[in-house]
Amino acid sequence: EEQEEDVLRELRLFLRNVTERLALDRRFKAFTKPVDIEEVPDYLIVIKKPMDLSTLLTNIDEHKYVTVSEFMSDADLIWQNALEYNPDSDPMDRHIRHRACALKDTVRAIIRDELDEDFDRVCEEIKESR
């Protein structure tokens, strides 16, 4: 009903705000756009579910997420993929893994600090009812 759409609209506003703040953080520049398959031809052989911050924003606008947990599953792909594709000891791999870990910790800290438990529960109830 209308009240449910009001809740989901507020969820999208919250998720856009979080995602845009991450995209502005210079540490996360490598995560703002899809990895360029022309530059990295084997990327899709290694990484089965690519994800990036611009794709998160598109998904939000396409009403893909009804709960924060669904959003977090896709957001987690970003740093998980980076750890998986860049496992080596060379400085470049270590650098992007450090940033991937910072992304993981930053997303979790924002959600812990800014997501209201009761609001999240209402979203979960809407999801269960559909």
The length of the chain, given as a count of residues: 130
Cβ-based nearer residue to ligand RH7, 68 or 82: 82
Cβ-based nearer residue to ligand RH7, 82 or 122: 82
Closest to 84 in 3D by CA, of 102, 100, 107, 106 = 100
Cβ-based nearer residue to ligand RH7, 7 or 96: 96
**Nearest distance from C-beta of residue 106 to ligand RH7, angstroms:** 15
Q: Mention every residue, 6+ apart, whose C-beta is less than 8 A from residue 67.
A: 11, 120, 123, 124, 127
Question: Taking each helix axis from N to C terminus, what angle separates 53-61 and 68-85, rounded to the nearest 10 degrees?
Answer: 160
CA–CA dist 31, 27 (Å, integer): 9
**Nearest distance from C-beta of residue 12 to ligand RH7, angstroms:** 25
The mark string for 29-68 relative to ligand RH7 (x by CB under 6 A, - otherwise) is: -xx---x---xx----------------------------
Contact 86, 93 (CB under 8 A): yes
Q: Is 23 in the site for ligand RH7 (CB under 6 A)?
A: no
User: For ligand RH7, which stretch binds (CB under 6 A), given 9-17, 66-74, 81-89, 120-128?
Assistant: 81-89
Binding residues for ligand RH7, rule: CB under 6 A, are: 30-31, 35, 39-40, 82, 85-86, 96
